[in-house]
Amino acid sequence: MVRIDGIAVAAKVMEETRIRIAALAKRGITPGLAVVLVGDDPASRAYVRSKDRKAAELGLHSVKKELSADTTQAELLAVVAELNADPSIHGILVQSPPPPQIDEAEIVKAIDPRKDVDGFHPVNVAKLAMEDPTGFVPCTPLGCIRLLIEAGIETAGRKAVVVGRSMIVGKPMALLLMKRGLGGDATVTVAHSRTRDLAAVTREADIVIAAIGRPNFLGADHIREGAVVIDVGINRIEDPSTPKGYRLVGDVDYDAVADKCAAITPVPGGVGPMTIAMLMSNCVSAAERLNA
* Residue from the set 131, 224, 235, 248 that interacts with ligand NDP by CB under 6 A: 235
Residues 6+ apart with CB under 8 A from 288: 20, 24
Task: Compute φ and ψ for 132, nearest 5 degrees.
Answer: -90, 115
Query: Binding of ligand NDP at residue 64 (CB under 6 A)?
Result: no
Residues 6+ apart with CB under 8 A from 114: 286, 289, 290
- E strand or H helix at 172: helix 170-178
* Residue from the set 169, 205, 229, 280 that interacts with ligand NDP by CB under 6 A: 169
Task: Compute φ and ψ for 228, nearest 5 degrees.
Answer: -105, 135
Query: Binding of ligand NDP at residue 227 (CB under 6 A)?
Result: no
Catalytic residue status for 101: no
Query: Binding of ligand NDP at residue 212 (CB under 6 A)?
Result: yes
Question: Residues 52, 54, 65, 95: which is the catalytic one?
Answer: 95
* Residue from the set 165, 224, 247, 260 that interacts with ligand NDP by CB under 6 A: 165
Query: Binding of ligand NDP at residue 194 (CB under 6 A)?
Result: yes
Would you call 242 helix, strand, or coil by DSSP? coil
Query: Binding of ligand NDP at residue 193 (CB under 6 A)?
Result: yes
Query: Binding of ligand NDP at residue 192 (CB under 6 A)?
Result: yes
Contact status, residue 70 vs residue 100, Cβ threshold 8 Å: no
Binding range to ligand NDP, per CB under 6 A, among 9-17, 106-114, 148-156, 206-214: 206-214
- Indicate the residue among 192 and 289 with the shorter CB distance to ligand NDP: 192
Four-CA torsion 40, 43, 49, 51, nearest 10 degrees: -130
Query: Binding of ligand NDP at residue 233 (CB under 6 A)?
Result: yes
Closest CA to 174 of 246, 101, 221, 230: 230
Question: Residues 118, 231, 251, 253: which is the catalytic one?
Answer: 118
- Indicate the residue among 73 and 166 with the shorter CB distance to ligand NDP: 166
Query: Binding of ligand NDP at residue 189 (CB under 6 A)?
Result: no
The rounded distance, in Å, linking the Cα atoms of 105 and 253 is 33
Closest CA to 144 of 45, 251, 19: 251
Would you call 260 helix, strand, or coil by DSSP? helix
The rounded distance, in Å, linking the Cα atoms of 289 and 285 is 6
The rounded distance, in Å, linking the Cα atoms of 150 and 97 is 31
* Residue from the set 166, 187, 248, 269 that interacts with ligand NDP by CB under 6 A: 166
Query: Binding of ligand NDP at residue 144 (CB under 6 A)?
Result: no
Binding range to ligand NDP, per CB under 6 A, among 69-77, 163-171, 221-229, 279-287: 163-171
Binding range to ligand NDP, per CB under 6 A, among 24-32, 115-123, 165-173, 257-265: 165-173
* Residue from the set 272, 277, 278, 280 that interacts with ligand NDP by CB under 6 A: 272
| Residue-wise DSSP of 66-78 | EE-TT--HHHHHH
The rounded distance, in Å, linking the Cα atoms of 57 and 221 is 43
Catalytic residue status for 95: yes
Catalytic residue status for 51: yes
**Could you give the residue numbers annotated as active site?**
51, 95, 118
Binding site for ligand NDP (CB under 6 A): 140, 163-166, 168-170, 191-195, 198, 211-214, 232-235, 251, 271-272, 275
